[in-house]
Amino acid sequence: MKNIIVGVLTVVIFASMAYVASNGRAYHGGEASKGFGTFKDGETASAAPAAKDDREIEQEELKSLREKAGNVGAFKVSDNYKSKCASCHGVNGEGTVGPKLIGQTSEYIYNMLIEFKSGRKENTVMKGLLISLSEDDLKEFADEIGEFPARAAELKNKQ
């Protein structure tokens, strides 16, 4: 009886070894073979994983480049903009709940802000927000937002 159990177990173990050997991640250049310094399987074992690693690194770099090119990136904005405007207009004025601001001139932004503050343009959200800000504050925001495209371009040039 004991012998039968041992025999069955042996078969199971060998079967799973064979399965892992043919499909396992640690073989044939699989990612998990990284770090198998003493791997004995000759050239294919050491060359294949290295080639794959290079490809993976390259793809990751490409991916992050594409992501950078796809969005405007994150150029620096004032703490004021960050805390008062970014939640609705995006960290770089790309727009979320509120409309996109990047690309508008500072004059346009300033006029809109004055319109909202005075109530000539109806928007409870913007009005409530601007009521505590002076016209100088609005000018400052407008000037900053007007600079966004230049900041984005500068960031792009650095990449």
Footprint of ligand HEC on this chain (CB under 6 A)? 84-85, 87-89, 97-99, 101, 109, 112-113, 123, 125-126, 129, 141
Kindly tell me which of 33 and 113 has the beta carbon lying closer to ligand HEC.
113
Cβ-contact 61, 38 below 8 angstroms: no
Measured from the CB atom, is 29 or 126 closer to ligand HEC?
126
Measured distance CA(110)–CA(69) in Å, rounded: 29
Cα torsion angle, 55, 57, 62, 64, sign: positive
Give me the least distance between CB of 76 and ligand HEC, in Å please: 16
> Which residues does 80 contact at the CB level (< 8 Å), separation at least 6?
137, 140, 141
Q: Please check whether residue 98 is in contact with residue 130, taking contact to mean a CB–CB distance below 8 angstroms.
A: no
Output the smallest distance, CB 61 to ligand HEC, in A: 36
Q: Which is nearer to ligand HEC, 38 or 124 (CB)?
A: 124
Nearer residue to ligand HEC within complex by CB, 45 or 129: 129
CB 110 within 8 A of CB 133: no
Least separation, in Å, of the C-beta of 97 and ligand HEC? 5
Any residues with CB less than 8 A from the CB of 143 and at least 6 apart, and which? Answer: 106
Residue 126 vs 152, nearer CB to ligand HEC? 126
Least distance in angstroms from the C-beta of 151 to ligand HEC: 15
Q: Nearest approach, Cβ of 101 to ligand HEC (angstroms)?
A: 6
Contact between 88 and 96 (Cβ < 8 Å): yes
